[in-house]
Amino acid sequence: MNSELAKLERFLKIRPLYFDEETKEFIWLDTRLLPFEEVYRRTRDYRRVAEAIRSLEIRGAPAIGVSAAFGMALAALESKARSVEELLRELEEAKRVLASTRPTAYNLFWALDRVMGRASRDALSGDPGKVSEGVVDEAMKIYVEDVKTNVEIGRIGSKLIENGSRVLTHCNTGALATAGFGTALGIVRYAWYEGKSVEVITTETRPVLQGARLNVWELKKEGIPFKLIVDSAVAIVMKRGLVDLAIVGADRIVLTGHVANKIGTLQVALAANYAGKPFYVAAPTSTVQRSWDAESIVIEERGKDEVITVMGRAQLTLKDIEVYNPAFDVTPPELISGIVTERGIATKPYSESLPKLLS
């Protein structure tokens, strides 16, 4: 496994999360403290992983999925179960705790199901040690695959980026949103590595400021030129011709081509369509739910502190007020120019192209 990872080394300048095979600890960069402090956290307790996901120390659908898989690995490693049945019960409990952290990111449920599937298959051996090893192995596989998938999304998506392109993005979809490298921002990174001249226009992405904090940190690290704008400036920036295309990530995609992503994505899509600019989504196929029901997508509503403060540090307004804080919105397929995955670019009609890509 590590030899595969070694081959990806040059794409892993930023390692936002990983498993330390010697100490058996899961380690992650606390994204809440960026760009001011680079603090890595570590744990052997899957409940702490759940807490890190819930509190946004770890965020971004692929990163959440991979972290949840490692959470399962920690649960397996801490288990003292003497039977396969006992171990499976403990793993089911860990899965329940990890699944309850964030409702929208599909990769979370995908990763947990995949790890439990492996455990169920290995359970036939009747050996809890083998089941436990399998869970750790599966988590590592999910991790390495995510990096590979991102690089492949970057390679495929880079074709959309001409030399000199100005790319608008919303929220963070870079290394910090994945096991490494990134999805939408991974495409920009790949194009940059290929020697193309690019400029990123990033929104700040209120309320949690993934653009202002995380994109700024990643882009500075890479030396990729960028401009920061408030979320409200997207339409005028598009209309004034300061952007060639928009690329965003996804938290959940269904087979109709409806895309749930960070609150504000729908407004970026509307602005791009209004200004006649392409609007792309980039995500691994692990973000695609095999469902035809866009209405069933659960939109997480978060607490009001996110809105009335800046990362809990400064108060923006009075405390005793009503706030509506949906964390995601859903962009309909007709506004989307293409969905870039590691298996190719799906185009309209998505209800045909997405199932074909997944088959």
Contacting residues toward its own copies, per CB under 8 A: 35-36, 201, 203-207, 209, 212-213, 216-217, 220, 225-237, 239, 242, 262-264, 266-267, 270-271, 274, 299, 304, 307-308, 310, 313-318, 321-326, 329-330
Contact (CB, 8 A) for 250 and 286: no
Catalytic positions, written as ranges = 251
CB 66 within 8 A of CB 15: no
Residue (190 or 217) nearer to its own copies, CB? 217
What CA–CA distance (Å, rounded) separates 187 from 11? 12
CB 104, min distance to its own copies, A: 12
Give me the least distance between CB of 307 and its own copies, in Å please.
6
In this structure, the chain runs to a length of 359
Whole-angstrom distance, CA of residue 44 vs CA of residue 269: 41
Residue number, 18 or 217, with CB nearest to its own copies:
217
Q: Which two tokens stand for residue 216?
A: 């700024």
Q: For residues 170 and 60, what is the distance between their CA atoms, to the nearest angstrom?
A: 12
From first CA to last CA, the distance across the chain in angstroms is 26
- Compute the least distance from the CB of residue 32 to its own copies, in Å: 13
Instruction: Locate 239 and state its tokens.
Output: 């209309």
Nearer to its own copies, 205 or 289 (CB): 205
Nearer to its own copies, 95 or 213 (CB): 213
Minimum CB separation of residue 227 from its own copies in Å reads 5
Distance of alpha carbon 305 from alpha carbon 317, whole angstroms: 10
Q: Strand 245-248 to strand 309-310: parallel, antiparallel, or no bridges (unpaired)? A: unpaired
Nearer residue to its own copies within complex by CB, 95 or 258: 258
Phi, psi at residue 252, to the nearest 5°?
Answer: -160, 135
Least Cβ distance, residue 54 to its own copies (angstroms):
20
| Residues with Cβ within 8 Å of residue 251, at least 6 apart in sequence | 61, 104, 105, 106, 260, 261, 262, 287, 328
Amino acid at 92: E
